[in-house]
Amino acid sequence: MRRYGLIVVGMLFALNKIPASKIVTQNDWHGGPGITEPADNWGIGFYESANINYLYQWGRLSLSIVINSSLSPEQHHIGDMRSGLDKKLGVGNMDEGPGSIVDLDVIVAGSNGIRWYENDGTGNFSTYHYIPYSYGNYLGYDIADFNFDGADDIVIGNYLTGKVWLYLNDGGGNFPHYTSVGNHPEVHQVAAKDFDNDGDIDVVSTRHHKSFGGSYWFKNDGTNQNFTRYTIESIGPGAARRINAGDLDADGDIDFVVGSFSTYWYENRIEEDDDPEHGFVRHSLDYHKNLYDWIGDVDKDGYLDIITANIAEDESRVSPTWWENDGTGKFYEHPLSPASYNAEAVVSIDIDYDGDIDIIQSFWNGGIGELGWYENDGNQNFTYYKYVDRYHYSCDLQIGDISGNGLLDLITSTHSPGTSIDWWELFDSFAEQGELTSCIFDAGAAVKWEAIEWDEETPEGTNIAFKVRTSNSIDEWPDWSTCQLLDDTTIFSLDSVVDQDTRYLQYKTILSTSDPDYSSFLYEVRVTYDDAPAVAELPESSCELRVEGNTVYYTVALGETGRLSVFDVVGRRIVTEEVSKAGCLELKELPAGLYFVRLEYSTGTVSRKVVLIR
C-alpha cells in the first residue's frame, strides 16, 4: 500500500518566487584574452589580463613568472649515492605529505639499492630511506598508487635476482608489505599502468642484455597480490634503459616506448585481439642508439609525440629528436639543433610557462656534462639555451615542484665518479600583483544576482580579491564593486553589492603577493543567480495558503481572482487552476518529490515549498 503525505518545509518569503537558482562557472582560462562579446558561459577565455599566468597549468591562474631562461639556475644538493648504471630518478608522494604540489619526494636507483629522499615541503632533503631488499647494479623501478590510497607505491625490477617486486606504501613512506609480481631473466626496467583497462595497475618489464632482450607484461587480478605473466617477445631490444607509457595511437589504451639500441614503441592490442599472450605489437621508430626517451604532446595537437636522446658510439655529435605523431601511431622525425655529444636524458614540458612545450636535455659531452633546454616558439621552432656547461657525468632528469611554490624545478643525477643528486630552481620570482578581467556573462534576461564564490590557494603573504559589476547594457557599466571577504571565506553575497534586475555580469580578480617566491592560485569561480521574477507579497491577511495531508487549502481575498500553480523541482509548472474565495487542491496523484506551490494575485503572491512523500 502506498502512502502519500505532504510536509511543509518552507515559509513565506520577503520576496516570493519559485527558487530557481542557476550557476555559471569558470575553471579554465587557457583560451587567452580578447573575448569582447557577451556569451551565455565564460568558456576558457577572458577579456584581458596583466601580470597573470594562465598557461602554466590549465585550470589554474597564478601571477606572472619571471624565468631564468639562459642564466645559471640555483643548484641545491639532495644527496650522494654509490654509482649505479644510470642513476634513474623519479619523483612521487612517498610519505603522503601535504599533497603532491607541495611535497614531492625524490627516488633514485644506485648500485647499493633504491633510496627515497624525504622532502620537508620546501626542497630540503635531510633524510633518506632505503626500499627494503632492493640491491644490485641494474635496478629499474616505477611509481604508481596501486591501492589508490593517495601514497605512491613502487614496483622494482632486480637484474641480479630476475624478479619483479611490488612494495606497498603504508602512507608514511614505509614499505612493510611487498609481493612478487613475477620473474624472467635479467629483469631491468619496469612500467606500471592499467594496460588492460580493467581498473587496476599492471606491470610491463624488459630484459637487459647487450645483444638481445625481451619484454613481458604482468596482469594484476585486482588484489595486488596475484599477477599473471605474459611474454610480449622473448627476443627483442637489448639494454633498454627506460620504458615510457602512454596512448600513442589514440585508441583508448596504454602503449609503451622502449629506448635501446634503437627506439621502439609497442602497440597495445590486448582488448582488440582479446589475446593477452600476444597483446602488444612492436614498431621500430629509428636506428639511432637511444637509451632514453620521453612521451609528450610537443605540438599540442592532441597526440602524444616521442622525444629521444640519441647517442653515437664514436661520440660524434648527435641531435636529440622530436618524433611527431600524426595521430595514428606514425611518427615523423625532427632533429633538434644544435647537436651535442651524447644526449643522456630528455623531458618535455612547458618550462617557461608560455603555453608551448619545450624540451630539456642532459648531455654526457665527453664526461664534462651539460644541462640545457630547447625553447619552443609555439610553431615547433627550437632555440637552445645552456643552463649549466659543466655538470660532470650528467645522467638522468626529472621535473617536479620540489620547492613547494607551485613551479617546476629540475632534478638531476650523475654517473660515477661524480655521484651527485641535485635539484635546480629555474625561476626568478613572481610579479607583485596581477589582474584578470573576465568576458561578459549574458544571463539572457534581467536576473537577481545572488553570490560569487571561488576556490583558491593562498600561501602566507599572498592574496586573491574580486570585483564585480552588472548592467543591462554592455556599453554602460557602473563602477566596480569590491567583494570584501571576512573570516577567510571565499563566498560573497551580491544582494546589496551590484545592481539587481540586470542582464550582464563581469568579474575582475586581483592576485597579489608580498613574497616574490610565492603566488596565490585561483582554481574556479562560480556565480549564482535567480532568473525567476520576484513579486512583492500581499500582507498575510489578504491571502492564505496552507497544507494538510495531501491537500492544499487556499483563501482568496474578497473580490480577487487568483491563480494556484504547482511547480516541480526544476521549475516546470505541472498544475494550474484559476481560484477565488476559498477552496482546496488535492495533490495525491503527484509522485513523491519536492514541489513549490504558488498562489498569485493581481498585486502579490504567496508561496510554499513542500515535499510529497509516498
Q: Which CATH number is 128's domain given? A: 2.130.10.10
354 and 251 share one domain: yes
338 and 417 share one domain: yes
Maximum pairwise Cα distance, the chain: 105
- What is the Cα–Cα distance from 264 to 492, expressed in whole angstroms? 55
Task: Extract the C-alpha cell encoding 353.
Answer: 610557462
Closest CA to 70 of 373, 354, 361: 373
Q: Which of the two residues, 524 and 160, has the higher pLDDT score?
A: 524
The residue segments making up the domain with residue 43 are: 22-65+440-529
315 and 448 share one domain: no
* Residue 70 resides in a domain: no
What phi and psi, each to the nearest 5 degrees, are found at residue 440?
A: -90, 125
Give the mean pLDDT of 488-500. 78
pLDDT (0 to 100) of residue 587 = 78
Last residue of a domain, which of 482, 506, 529? 529
Last residue of a domain, which of 386, 403, 428? 428
- Kindly tell me if the per-residue pLDDT of 47 is higher than 90: yes
Of 292-306, 311-325, 527-541, least confident by mean pLDDT is: 527-541
Give the mean pLDDT of 331-349. 81
419 and 447 share one domain: no
* Residue 535 resides in a domain: no
Last residue of a domain, which of 471, 502, 529? 529
389 and 490 share one domain: no
562 and 484 share one domain: no
* Residue 469 resides in a domain: yes
pLDDT (0 to 100) of residue 305 = 93
Q: Which of the two residues, 62 and 193, has the higher pLDDT score?
A: 193
Q: How confident is the model at residue 541 (pLDDT cuts 50, 70, 90)?
A: very low
225 and 175 share one domain: yes
pLDDT (0 to 100) of residue 63 = 76
Contacts of 140 (CB under 8 A, 6+ apart): 88, 109, 156, 157, 159, 187, 188, 189, 190, 205, 206, 243
- What is the Cα–Cα distance from 57 to 354, expressed in whole angstroms? 10
- Kindly tell me if the per-residue pLDDT of 537 is higher than 70: no
Report yes or no: 173 and 95 within 8 Å, Cβ to Cβ. yes
Give the mean pLDDT of 562-572. 75
- Kindly tell me if the per-residue pLDDT of 111 is higher than 70: no
* Residue 267 resides in a domain: yes
pLDDT (0 to 100) of residue 48 = 93
pLDDT tens per residue across span 194-225: 999 999 999 999 887 666 678 899 999 999 99
Helix or strand (DSSP H, E) at 272: helix 270-273
419 and 469 share one domain: no
Q: What is the pTM of this model?
A: 0.69
CATH number for position 474: 2.60.120
- What is the Cα–Cα distance from 261 to 10, expressed in whole angstroms? 74
293 and 405 share one domain: yes
What average pLDDT does the chain have? Answer: 79
pLDDT (0 to 100) of residue 36 = 92
pLDDT (0 to 100) of residue 284 = 84
Closest CA to 78 of 46, 31, 119: 119
- Kindly tell me if the per-residue pLDDT of 614 is higher than 80: no
Secondary structure string (H, E, C) spanning 478-541: CCCEEECCCCCCCEEECCCCCCCCEEEEEEEEEEEECCCCCCCEEEEEEEEEECCCCEECCCHH
467 and 509 share one domain: yes
283 and 406 share one domain: yes
Phi-psi bin for 345: left (phi > 0), alpha (psi -120 to 50), beta? beta
pLDDT tens per residue across span 27-44: 989 888 899 999 999 988
pLDDT (0 to 100) of residue 536 = 40
Give the mean pLDDT of 418-429. 80
312 and 333 share one domain: yes
Q: How confident is the model at residue 535 (pLDDT cuts 50, 70, 90)?
A: very low
Task: Identify any residues that bridge with 468 across adjacent strands, giving them in sequence order.
Answer: 481, 507
Q: How many domains does the chain have?
A: 3
* Residue 564 resides in a domain: yes
CATH number for position 573: 2.60.40.10
* Residue 237 resides in a domain: yes
- What is the Cα–Cα distance from 183 to 273, expressed in whole angstroms? 25
* Residue 84 resides in a domain: no
- Kindly tell me if the per-residue pLDDT of 18 is higher than 70: no
> Residue for cell digits 643528486?
421
* Residue 3 resides in a domain: no
pLDDT (0 to 100) of residue 14 = 31
Q: Which of the two residues, 591 and 72, has the higher pLDDT score?
A: 591
State percent of the chain over pLDDT 70: 79
Give the mean pLDDT of 578-591. 79
